[in-house]
Amino acid sequence: MNLILLGMPGAGKGTQADFIKNKFHIPTISTGAILREVSNSNSLLAKKVRGFLDAGTLVPDEIIVEMLVQRLKEDDCKNGFILDGFPRNLDQAKALENAGIVINNVVFLKISESEIISRMSGRRVHLPSGRSYHIVHNPPKNEGRDDETGEELVLRDDDKPEVIKKRLEVYFQETEPLLDFFINSEIIFDEVDASKNVEDVSNEIFKILT
Ligand code: AP5
């Protein structure tokens, strides 16, 4: 199963990717998590990448596409993978095709803009894995701690209101056109009502994927 999760920032892609990963035993590849790791490293790229993340704009394709394609060639992706945050624009979708990477399913998590703000303001993340929680809707077992590692959860720097606004603008301009691209492709495309609670959304996704 080679799956793409599409949706607005905060729609619940990362949350659902985790459920799918655990059920189907395939890895989640989150470009946001990869880029946050780069931005926190001592590499030459770190400062450059951090600038885009903090501004809420997309990191240029020449930085992310090759990284992603190489990641998908690793052994753990042999039996499938979940793409969370990629592709983000038409050129990235075409780059997947050009690299010979076949996608079987696209699941679009549909939600309104007004829901997004409350979701992001209550979000807490485990930066190394990209696992995300919500203080009310999806709390960790122990407050402020990641369920799997027990490590500290933090607020993401790009969850400030002004950056959220920019990320939504970028979504409408660059990512939303992907909906038509996939609807008109051979790939199986499904839409899920992502405003439901976490469990209902994952049950709906499981129904689609099984
Ligand atoms: P990225 O990390 O991909 O962020 P995003 O797409 O903006 O999505 P989010 O991670 O914010 O949200 P999500 O949909 O995963 O929601 P979550 O499950 O956490 O990208 C960050 C940045 O990296 C970009 O701005 C860009 O700069 C760069 N980048 C990344 N990929 C790139 C690419 N391909 N090309 C170029 N640049 C790239 O849920 C949100 C909250 O809601 C959580 O608190 C969660 O617990 C809660 N929640 C989830 N589901 C529900 C539910 N059903 N009910 C109630 N609460 C829920």
pLDDT digits (tens, 9 = 90+) for 154-176: 988 888 888 999 999 999 999 99
Give the residue-averaged pLDDT of 2-25: 96
Residue nearest to atom 55 of ligand 1 (CA): 137
Please tell me the predicted confidence (pLDDT) of residue 63.
94
- Lining ligand 1 with CB less than 6 A are 7, 9-15, 31-32, 35, 52-53, 56-59, 64, 85-86, 88, 92, 119, 122-123, 132-134, 137-138, 158, 167, 196-198, 201
pLDDT tens for each residue of 31-56: 998 999 899 999 989 999 999 999 99
Global confidence as pTM:
0.93
Task: State which H helix or E strand residue 206 sits in.
Answer: helix 198-209
3-state secondary structure 77-127: HCCCEEEECCCCCHHHHHHHHHCCCCCCEEEEEECCHHHHHHHHHCEEEEC
The arithmetic mean of pLDDT across residues 59-85, rounded, is: 95
pLDDT in tens, 140-155: 999 999 999 999 999 8
Q: How far apart are CA 138 and CA 121, in angstroms?
A: 13
